[in-house]
Amino acid sequence: MNFSVSFKFAVISDTHGSVKAWGLAKKICKDVNLIVHLGDVLYHGPRNPLPDGYAPKELAEEINSSDVPVIIIKGNCDADIDEAMIKWPVSYPYCVLWLDGKLVFAHHGTFFERYKGLALDFKADLVLTGHTHISSVICEGKTVFLNPGSASLPKGGEPPSLAIVDEKGISLLSLKGDLLRFEPWRLT
């Protein structure tokens, strides 16, 4: 899998209304061409605590003012009013992207097994999924499954995180900018 030298995009998930998490992520994403947000954007959800910096209205304003295009996949905590607050496209239940000659399948992750099969059936190069709040990069044949973790409410002892995808591979980064894991592209 080779991306052109100039193409670089960010993958973020589960901000849950934290304008602070978005602000930290934007500092890391300053040189990306696209941001893919995998859902649970504005609302913290009834089972979650309020994240640090919880300000859904301000977060919507920050996302709307992004100089970098943002594609959003609707998550299980996202409501119709959230879509009305955000100017960028909101897709549900998944989004298929053709990025630099690679087929990218993005979904929130609520129904992971259902969409995993679909992505494998049409031979996606990269599958983006959130929902679990735990980061991972798993290769299955020629398909790479990426979960960037949660930007605001991480689980499993992980720090808040996101992923950067470029021609070299996938970098999982903490919102402090620390490299948590790097997965180079494998040619199969």
Is 1 contained in some domain? no
- The least confident of 58-62, 99-103, 128-132, 179-183 is 99-103
Question: pLDDT band at 5, cuts 50/70/90?
Answer: very low
Q: What percent of the chain has pLDDT over 90?
A: 85
- Predicted local distance difference test score (pLDDT) of residue 148: 98
Residue with tokens 């049409």: 122
Strand order in the sheet with 143-148: 94-99, 102-107, 126-129, 143-148, 135-140
pLDDT, mean over the chain = 93
3-class SS string, 42-60: CCCCCCCCCCCCECHHHHH
Q: E-assigned strands of the chain? A: 9-12, 34-37, 70-73, 90-91, 94-99, 102-107, 126-129, 135-140, 143-148, 161-165, 169-174, 179-184
* pTM value > 0.85: yes
Is 3 a domain residue?
no
Q: Is 56 part of any domain?
A: yes
Q: Domain total for the chain?
A: 1
Per 3-state DSSP, what percentage of the chain is helix, strand, and coil (rounded to 5)? 20, 30, 50
Range of the domain at 161: 9-184
pLDDT in tens, 44-90: 988 889 999 999 999 999 999 999 999 999 999 999 999 999 999 99
pLDDT in the model for residue 185 = 81
Q: At 6, is the pLDDT very low, low, confident or very high (cuts 50, 70, 90)?
A: low
pLDDT per residue over 29-53, tens digit each?
989 999 999 999 999 988 889 999 9
- The CATH number for 168's domain is 3.60.21.10
Q: Is residue 4 part of a domain?
A: no
Sheet with 34-37: strands ordered across: 90-91, 70-73, 34-37, 9-12, 161-165, 169-174, 179-184
Residue 153 has pLDDT above 90, yes or no: yes
